[in-house]
A and B are shown apart, each in its own frame.
Chain A
Amino acid sequence: MPTPLVVSDVAKSFTMHLRDGIRLPVVANVSFSIKAGECAVLGGPSGAGKSSILKMVYGNYAVDRGQIIVPYRDRLVDVAAADPRTMLGIRRDMIGYVSQFLRTVPRVSALDVVAEPLIARGVDRTDARDKAGSLLAGLNLPERLWSLPPATFSGGEQQRVNIARGFITDHPILLLDEPTASLDAKNRDVVVSMIQQKKDTGVAMLGIFHDQDVREAVADRIIDVTAFCVPNGVAA
């Protein structure tokens, strides 16, 4: 099986057309790869470009230069150049993403928010909901909340819905943007063991964890993002 994720020589900057076209360099020469069953953690201070790297891998941010290679349908695809339809397929089948904040949709229940990625892959609705329920139960989200839309939930409750949604599928690559930021110690431990289980099944993970205990518990390797930083104004 090919390496699940290979990032080579990626660069990203923002051009602010409304501010006289100022160019804000973010990162350059980003190169790393992640093996199956490995959890790599992006390290570095706020603003170093950790989230930008995750977002580029997910196709949420455009890439200036370089390649992000993932295997998809018996071939290797460059996410940096993939057309939208391919990218949607890669998101459905290859790359899962747990974002820091939940973007809620009006009137959709927590249970359905969690079950949705499975249903999108053709899993029966009842089975998907059963699995969603067991994940939410494992994350100690009270059952009385499951049928409610998560818009009114607390930060920690929303985050647990988000984690359950990201972990419900067996995507071979999982991106984790501070999944434990608003959780208490007990639920942090649950997430750590969920990450361990993903590792055991061979999932390649790339994450951002500011919590040092969690980082030490899950990280096989720290990728120092400051090595990719571009000094202000002299973007390559």
Chain B
Amino acid sequence: MSDIPLLKVKALSKFYGSRIGCQNVAFELWPGEVLAVVGESGSGKTTLLDCLATRLAPSTGSVEYRMRDGQFRDLYRMSEAERRFLMRTDWGFVHQNPADGLRMTVSAGANVGERLMAVGDRHYGKIRATATDWLGRVEIATDRIDDQPRAFSGGMRQRLQIARNLVTNPRLVFMDEPTGGLDVSVQARLLDLLRGLVSDLGLAAIVVTHDLAVARLLSHRMMVMKDGHIVETGLTDRVLDDPQAPYTQLLVSSILQV
């Protein structure tokens, strides 16, 4: 792991009128590090994710990202075009609902290939070969390359969304409940796949989830949110095995044992 962070978040807050979305969030994320943000619905974790991923302008605070040239840039002082370029090339965003992250009426191959074209690839044969390779890596049979995701199961759609996000070799991936809404067996397969890809590619990732088992399996580090505030942070296994904050103890003690 490098000694320079990839992302620096300082005093980040988002208010909806007088309501708190998230308040005074600060942390740093390093290359290769997977950070889980956990909490119940309404805790502000999705607001935080959206503020980090430039999908929602924060009310105060700053988010600085280390560009490929090594310079830190404040995301909210960039032009809209620069932010969009970053989002298309250096970042990925995996939505809970694959339909939000895929184009449902173009083929699986085109869904993956489109991201490559956005970063300047023009050679059809190469794009198709890369798309085929990525479908294989996310365990989608390559004879489905010309099918539309509409014809895919939920688990396949989610894997396709992951391929679409990772094909440009991003350095940072945001994930919003990546296994939410999937059957348990499909979840396990997806988690295992994500875990392998994240470690093989050395990706940094911020994963929002309400599922502590997902956080345990995927993340190195964890932040627990409640009412828009971070109530506890630490190594994932420390937070789960020896929770300190009252709210974290409540969350951990509420897990059903199988």
Contact = CB atoms under 8 A, between A and B. Distances in A.
Interface of A: 14-18, 55, 59-62, 84-85, 87-89, 105-108, 120
Given A84-B221, A85-B33, A106-B188, A61 B1 contact: no
B237 A60 contact: yes
B249 interface: yes
Interface residues of B, number: 25
Counting chain B CB atoms within 10 Å of each CB, the highest count among A14, A15, A59, A88 belongs to: A88
Contact of B189 (A15, A60, A88, A106): A106
A85 B242 contact: no
A61 B235 CA distance: 10
Contacts, number: 54
Closest 3 CB pairs of A and B: A17-B246, A106-B188, A61-B242
17 contacts: A15-B244, A16-B249, A17-B245, A55-B241, A55-B242, A59-B235, A60-B237, A61-B242, A62-B234, A84-B238, A88-B220, A105-B192, A105-B195, A105-B217, A106-B191, A107-B188, A120-B199
Given A59-B235, A85-B30, A105-B217, 6 more contacts: A15-B244, A16-B249, A59-B238, A84-B220, A85-B33, A106-B191
Nearest to B220: A88
A88 B235 contact: yes
B192 A18 contact: no
Which label, helix, strand, loop or mixed, suits the secondary structure of the A interface? mixed
Contacts of A88: 1, 220, 235
Interface string B94-129: 000000000000000000000000000000000000
A61 B238 contact: yes
B244 A62 contact: yes
A89 B220 CA distance: 11
Contacts of A62: 234, 238, 242, 244
Contacts of A85: 1, 30, 33, 221
Contacts of B220: 84, 88
Contacts of B60: none
A222 B244 CA distance: 31
Nearest to A119: B199
Contacts of A89: 1
A77 B93 CA distance: 36
B145 to A, nearest CB: 24
A18 B250 contact: yes
A70 B130 CA distance: 46
B14 to A, nearest CB: 25
Most buried by B among A16, A17, A87: A17
A94 to B, nearest CB: 15
Given A84-B221, A89-B1, A106-B192, A61 B249 contact: no
A3 B40 CA distance: 45
A75 B246 CA distance: 35
B235 A107 contact: no
B241 A60 contact: yes
Nearest to B28: A85
A55 B153 CA distance: 42
B246 A18 contact: yes
A63 B18 CA distance: 38
A16 B253 CA distance: 11
Nearest to B193: A107
Contact of B242 (A60, A105, A106, A120): A60
A92 to B, nearest CB: 9
Nearest to B185: A106
Interface string B244-257: 11100110010000
A57 to B, nearest CB: 13
A60 B238 contact: yes
B242 to A, nearest CB: 4
